[in-house]
Amino acid sequence: MQLFKNIIGNKQIKESLINSVSSGNVSHSYLFVGKAGIGKKLFAKDLAKKVMCVEKNNTTLNFDDCESCTKFDANSNPDFSLIVPDGKSIKIEQIRSMQSKIVEKPIISSKKVYIIDDADLMSEESQNCLLKTLEEPPEYAMIILIASNESRMLQTIKSRCVIIRFENLTDEEVGKILNTTDQDIIRLCEGSVAKAGKIQEKKDVFIQLKNIANLLEKNSLIEVLNNSDLLYSSKDDIMTLLDFLNIIFFEKAKEDIRNSDVINIIEKTKKKILANNNYDMCIDYMLIHIWEILNK
């Protein structure tokens, strides 16, 4: 299995990490930073699996033959830990628990790897506690911190990590994930793997929404209201749908200034919904006012 084979995006980071692994020059501590949902954790887990793979006679085993790898895939590798926030933060007790275990040598792997997801949710106290381990990590240990907000990480933490800054996916890469050339849908993803995955599940919904947007320009108000069940029945996802409508009308605004007023109506609708106004009346308000703007 090739390292990062199934991960799309950040080609330069792939090449850099592959070279580090191949040369045996991996760091004891990394800080992966970048927008949420662009694949940082996928990279971290792939890297962890690779460096934990046991070597015999200086030859890395095939992942299928490596006990460390098969247990990693089964989420049962005793030498790997993923630390996630306990509630809204990563508590100092979680860091102390990690420190008590990291001093124990690997059981079945060549290394012990700890991934701290949302590391920017560590309190200053937790980060200062972690600093002790980062300063003098066991030779067999690797710690990967994942953060979306680099500014919340202490400088002392950052200075002891190899910092890798991830870029958003390109439109072309998002298009490959979604198997679409629809630029409106691609823009909705905002370069995020996570968003692309969610949108992939509901791509048909966004196509329906584009049809509704077209109806607003070309059909009578009665036809629009009769064919907009999607909006009335999607209360749980309405903010995402309204964001998509904004993207559609933003592109249209480049050719017709009226669409700027449409965007204002959509934003007002968002505020009304968030203020717990009657949901169906909010959708009525939006559709009627958009139709009036486009059909003056």
Asked, for residue 185, whether it belongs to a domain, the answer is: no
Say yes or no: 15 and 146 in one domain: yes
Locate all alpha helices (DSSP H) within 39-170, ordered by sequence.
40-52, 67-73, 92-102, 124-135, 155-158
Say yes or no: 150 and 33 in one domain: yes
Say yes or no: 41 and 161 in one domain: yes
Q: Are 7 and 120 in contact (CB under 8 A)?
A: no
> By CB neighbour count within 10 A (0-12 exposed, 13-18 middle, 19+ buried), where does 274 fall?
exposed
Give this prediction's pTM: 0.73
Output the pLDDT for position 62: 56
Say yes or no: 116 and 45 in one domain: yes
Asked, for residue 73, whether it belongs to a domain, the answer is: yes
- Report helix, strand or coil for 216: helix
Output the pLDDT for position 222: 93
Our count of domains for the chain comes to 2
Asked, for residue 221, whether it belongs to a domain, the answer is: yes
220-274 tens-digit pLDDT: 999 999 999 999 999 998 998 998 888 888 877 777 888 889 999 999 999 999 9
Asked, for residue 85, whether it belongs to a domain, the answer is: yes
For residue 117, give the CATH number of its domain: 3.40.50.300
Last residue of a domain, one of 118, 148, 167: 167
Tokens of 112: 């012990």
> What whole-number distance in Å separates Cα of residue 248 and Cα of residue 10?
28
Last residue of a domain, one of 122, 151, 167: 167
pLDDT > 70? residue 42: yes
Output the pLDDT for position 134: 95
Residues in Cβ contact with 267 at an 8 Å cutoff, skipping those fewer than 6 apart: 246
Q: Are 184 and 154 in contact (CB under 8 A)?
A: no
Say yes or no: 126 and 35 in one domain: yes
What values do phi and psi take at 118, rounded to 5? 55, 45
Residue ranges of E strands in the chain: 29-33, 55-56, 59-60, 80-83, 112-116, 141-147, 162-165
Output the pLDDT for position 1: 52
Output the pLDDT for position 275: 95
Last residue of a domain, one of 113, 141, 167: 167
Asked, for residue 184, whether it belongs to a domain, the answer is: no
Asked, for residue 226, whether it belongs to a domain, the answer is: yes
Say yes or no: 16 and 110 in one domain: yes
Say yes or no: 206 and 153 in one domain: no
Say yes or no: 162 and 257 in one domain: no
Say yes or no: 121 and 217 in one domain: no
Residue count (the chain): 296
What values do phi and psi take at 278, rounded to 5? -55, 125
Asked, for residue 194, whether it belongs to a domain, the answer is: no
Say yes or no: 44 and 111 in one domain: yes
In the predicted model, what is the mean pLDDT of the chain? 89
Task: State the residue for tokens 């890395």.
Answer: 60
Q: Which residue range is the domain that position 103 belongs to?
A: 11-167
Say yes or no: 159 and 240 in one domain: no
Q: Are 102 and 112 in contact (CB under 8 A)?
A: yes
Task: State the residue for tokens 């964001």.
Answer: 243
48-100 tens-digit pLDDT: 999 998 754 445 545 556 888 889 999 999 999 999 999 989 999 999 999 99
Asked, for residue 173, whether it belongs to a domain, the answer is: no
Q: Which of 180, 157, 17, 27 is nearest to 95 (CA)?
A: 157
Residues in Cβ contact with 286 at an 8 Å cutoff, skipping those fewer than 6 apart: 265, 266, 268, 269
- 81 has which bridge partners? 114
Output the pLDDT for position 226: 92
Q: Are 7 and 14 in contact (CB under 8 A)?
A: yes
Say yes or no: 151 and 220 in one domain: no
